[in-house]
Amino acid sequence: MAVSISRVLLISLISIVISATIVHAKGHGHHGHGGKHLHHQNRNQSVQGGPVTYDGRSLIINGKRELLFSGAIHYTRSTPEMWPYLIKKAKHGGLNMIETYVFWNIHEPVQGQYNFEGNYDLVRFIKLVQEHGMYATIRLGPFIQAEWNHGGLPYWLREVPGIIFRSDNKAFKYHMEKYVQLIVNKLKEAKLFAPQGGPIVLAQIENEYNMVQLAYRELGSSYMRWAAAMAVQQNIGVPWIMCKQKDAPDPVINTCNGRQCGDTFMGPNKPYKPTLWTENWTAQYRVFGDPPSQRPVDDIAFAVARFFSKKGSLTNYYMYHGGTNFGRTSAIFTTTRYYDEAPLDEYGLPRDPKWSHLKDLHKALRLSRKALLWGVPGVQKMSANTEVYFYEMPATNICAAFLTNNNLTTEATVSWRGQDYYLPPHSISILPDCKTVVFNTQTIVAQHNSRNFVQSTVANNLKWKKYAEPIPSTLQVLVNNPTPLELYTLLKDTSDYAWYTTSLALNQQDLPRKASIQPVLRIASLGHALHLFVNGEYIGFGHGSHDEKSFVLEKPVHFKAGVNQITLLAMTLGLPDGGAYMEHRYAGPNLIIVLGLNTGTLDITKNGWGHQVGLNGEKLQVFTEEGSKQVQWDKTKGSAQGLTWYKTYFDAPEGNNPVAIRMTGMGKGMIWVNGRSIGRHWMSFLSPLGEPTQSEYHIPRSFIKPTQNILVVLEEQPAKPKHIEILTVNRDTICSFITEYHPPNVKSWARQDSVFRPVLDVIRSSADIKCPNKKKVVVVEFASFGDPPAGYCGSYVLGKCNSPVSKEVVEQHCLGKSSCSVPINRNLFLKNISDGCPDIKKTLAIQVKCAI
């Protein structure tokens, strides 16, 4: 096998190098016919597929160079009903490529049993990408991390004898190759690779392996080489990539992941490989207990412009749409909501200005496309913090420049080629003709919006009933092992929950004689969380965190003379998704001690323990209509108890906006709608800011019937559901915030037949507003022309200097319209009015509400 793979690798390398060398020569023959063949491309043309090669400048798809703006949208984290909308919004946002991981553990959850249905239908998803005229990248892994349960590896793989994940290990390589062949063959059968006429132009093997490679020593290096060779042997006809793999062997391309790849990436490991950015992190994923995380769009735009100014030709936004970790699919302690701060939020709604500012950036880069792909690069240092990167095609007027101010706090003015250019701090201005600024990364011309959660008027007549989960003892769950079993091995990823039971016989002399003294039960656990019951009574809850999985739960308990039943409900919150030797991670209780007895400290770890996987409600599927009929549901009167199932019904919320459920007043558990799990909730794990990490949980519209939707909540902690709300979600609050420094919108220019020109008679800066989904402006909630207001979109506060007619002017331009443009013009706002602050550059801030 090794000889065969090596031969394939050598032949592929020779083929790629020869092809790349030929194309490289053509690409720089600006005056010859070969150069012309590569220059011209109709960007509106649908994806037709064709051979895919590369050189040191870019990918070359069907003989044409491409600048690729890609977005990660994971088919598993949304629904098939959402896919067309998400892809359409991505394309409208200026993308021409969609990237997705492929998730082994949902496609083969049980060895030899495959699932490609519903939102796991990979082929259907990729076909939709092609139908929208976009390219695709598939990242096969099979280890993907992705904050996905077990990093995408199926649990059963852990139990293969002698296996060591991601190493030169015979068992792992056998199953990995078998899986890769399964996915590749499925995609080939559907003719989805570019040489077959499909949209897939890149494929990835492994994932950020350099991060763990040294832990495996030589077995890591040999595994990496084997993985590359095995991938190439699949003969898919498109290049393979390895992200964060500086030593990726030819012909595999090494790529960058991170926030600032324009500055941190050392570049391809061979001069004939292109500079590609596979993960441009648009925010930070969150785990339970985290505060909110943000990444400003101006920082993303700066990083992308920087990358393309330094020969980059592909950036992939990770994530472009994060979506939802339905069911039990999230990795260890990861929230149900994933990358909500992406350009498309969890519900698929454009998050402005992130979505719209990046759209403008893509437009500016496309205006510079010919110079970037065929021009001769140059760089000119202007000062300690300013520089110009430029690309020119000799003997033509094709030229593009990136004017850069690297200073984080101080603005600058640079003089370049006879003109002065103002640069805000930490910004890049893009000049597609080396003369005209059409975009600056820091000055956001695009609109802003604010997300609104609105209580549904028809879906909140919630009449709750409850079913208490039975608490087992050694009478129901018999002792079957001297010590508590390891939790991962016990559960086998079939449930979050496992019961541990033991009994402890005490006589009166063992118990403290003073009423003020109680025995204490101390439980040390390797993770992730645990509930304690004594004699059927709920005692308390303990848990670890993403950074420290292990914890100790200590609670005073009331023991009686006689036999005491001790019951633990141990649980996982997703399996580990990263690091070396994942198959050697462990969880669950490993030391149980009773303190405070008259007879001294008592270690009951080896007392003999019973074990049971899953809850009774899970086995009966009480979260489904049929399963709910198998138990008795009672009214929710009385005090709240731990480990209770709650059930109610609701009608579909009005309108077509996305739907969410706000879990106010609840603790921790899971949520089902019509039998489909929308994920784990955890309201009681507060961030350092004193708030839950996630309060609202997405219910896809496709999960909902017109009436009588069964909603079931498993609540582990003592809590009542009376404050739970069904909400609709919109981004109908639209804002604009521009200054007299802002350049006009990039849509004011176009390039046609290699000629860069304005598309308007008068080019000027303006506040542009566009309502979503054909809605119209129904009210102007805020308007200010003067000094900058305080606050942000959704909560602006007037500054000290403001034109008194600001709101009137905006209303004249915008009321009753689906879109409007308000010029930032002093004559418009200060006509016949004294300027109270004539010495400052003016700011125009607008906030409107859109509705049907």
- What lies within 8 Å, CB to CB, of 718 at 6+ separation is 538, 639, 640, 641, 642, 667
For 608: left if phi > 0, alpha if psi spans -120 to 50, otherwise beta; the answer is left
The angle, 0 to 180 degrees and rounded to 10, between the axes of the packed helices 354-367 and 297-309 is 20
Instruction: Return d(Cα 734, Cα 850) in angstroms, integer.
Output: 7
Cis peptide before 528, with omega less than 30 degrees from 0?
yes
User: What is the side-by-side order of every strand in the sheet holding 497-506?
Assistant: 479-481, 609-613, 497-506, 562-571, 529-534, 537-543
Q: Scanning the structure block, which residue is given the tokens 């609670």?
A: 555
Q: Catalytic residue numbers?
A: 208, 279
- What lies within 8 Å, CB to CB, of 359 at 6+ separation is 92, 93, 94, 446
Radius of gyration of the chain, Cα coordinates, nearest whole angstrom: 30
CB-based burial label for 574 (10 Å; 0-12, 13-18, 19+) = buried
Q: Are 449 and 735 in contact (CB under 8 A)?
A: yes
Q: Are 575 and 544 in contact (CB under 8 A)?
A: no
Strand 64-65 and strand 609-613: the pairing is: unpaired
DSSP SS3 for 790? strand
Q: What are the residues facing 316 on neighbouring strands?
A: 70
Total Cβ atoms within 10 A of residue 201: 29
Q: Which amino acid is it at 214?
A: L
Instruction: Return d(Cα 681, Cα 684) in angstroms, integer.
Output: 9
Q: What are the residues facing 589 on neighbouring strands?
A: 525
Residue of 524, 596, 590 lying closest to 558 (CA atoms): 596
Q: Are 48 and 78 in contact (CB under 8 A)?
A: no
Instruction: Return d(Cα 576, Cα 150) in angstroms, integer.
Output: 5
Residue of 515, 532, 652 lying closest to 592 (CA atoms): 532
Q: Scanning the structure block, which residue is given the tokens 């763990």?
A: 212
Residue of 846, 851, 850, 849 lying closest to 447 (CA atoms): 846
